[in-house]
Copies of this chain bind each other. A is one copy, B any other.
């Protein structure tokens, strides 16, 4: 189904959560093409907030929408994670050298990493032992301008191809809005949360319903080693993220609280 002329080039899988037509994925795939053969497999509609979700209730379709030299584009009815799984198992001629997800229209810094379909796609890549990066621009507009972000995206891809990534680690790259970007900082995920409000309405059958809305709250605004802080300062943030979410520090504490106590009459 997929065959590249220049077969020796790196194979790069590109996905996103805003859908195959989004400006962000177009920008990302064009940078990716500088480095290798590119296969885009992306949702046919927006899948924002889908996190690491997989589709188990309905079957997945995979449809080719375009191909040209060094590039294939497919769409699916699945989530970003589905796109990666389906590509690896049923589409690509070999394991890709890189999985790139994005560029998301909107921030995925701090705790947003947990809700992000963009980062779900990247996590699925590294789950399959492929170096993977999720990119997001801090601009939610469908018409967002990605041009200032491109040199930074290019640099991150170049670094990942050159050095690889530690096993089990993927990158969460967020890029400020605007034309004046100061550089790249490797930082940690800020502690933060979404403060939700629900808009309550009544439907024609007199049933109440709720729309999710809300705003992000940075819980450590003065921590200079965090993504939120450097983004505010105009830097691109690179957070290395781990598949192992064990809180290793808490293990001893829990053991000391006799969680491991045997149950009366059971042991």
- Give chain B residues whose Cβ lies under 8 Å from the Cβ of A254: 186, 238, 240
Best-surrounded residue of A159, A207, A246, A248 (most CB of chain B within 10 A): A246
- Give chain B residues whose Cβ lies under 8 Å from the Cβ of A194: 127
With contacts A85-B212, A196-B88, A238-B259 known, is A251 near B168, CB below 8 A?
A: no
Q: How far is the CA of A239 from the CA of B248 in the complex (A)?
A: 9
- Give chain B residues whose Cβ lies under 8 Å from the Cβ of A261: 155, 183-184
Asked if A52 and B198 sit within 8 Å, CB to CB, the answer is: no
Residue of B with least CB distance to A49:
B54
Distance in angstroms from A25 CB to nearest chain B CB is 19
Main secondary structure of the interface of A (DSSP, over half): mixed
Asked if A61 and B244 sit within 8 Å, CB to CB, the answer is: no
- Give chain B residues whose Cβ lies under 8 Å from the Cβ of A263: 151-152, 155, 181, 183-184
Asked if A242 and B241 sit within 8 Å, CB to CB, the answer is: no
A65, CB-defined interface residue at 8 Å: no
Distance in angstroms from A155 CB to nearest chain B CB is 6
- Give chain B residues whose Cβ lies under 8 Å from the Cβ of A187: 251
Contact with B along A228-267 (1 / 0, CB 8 A): 0000000000111111111111110111011111110011
Q: How far is the CA of A201 from the CA of B155 in the complex (A)?
A: 42
Asked if B248 and A188 sit within 8 Å, CB to CB, the answer is: yes
Q: Which of A63-95 contact B (CB under 8 A)?
A: 81-82, 85-86, 88-90
Asked if B52 and A115 sit within 8 Å, CB to CB, the answer is: yes
Q: How far is the CA of A156 from the CA of B212 in the complex (A)?
A: 32
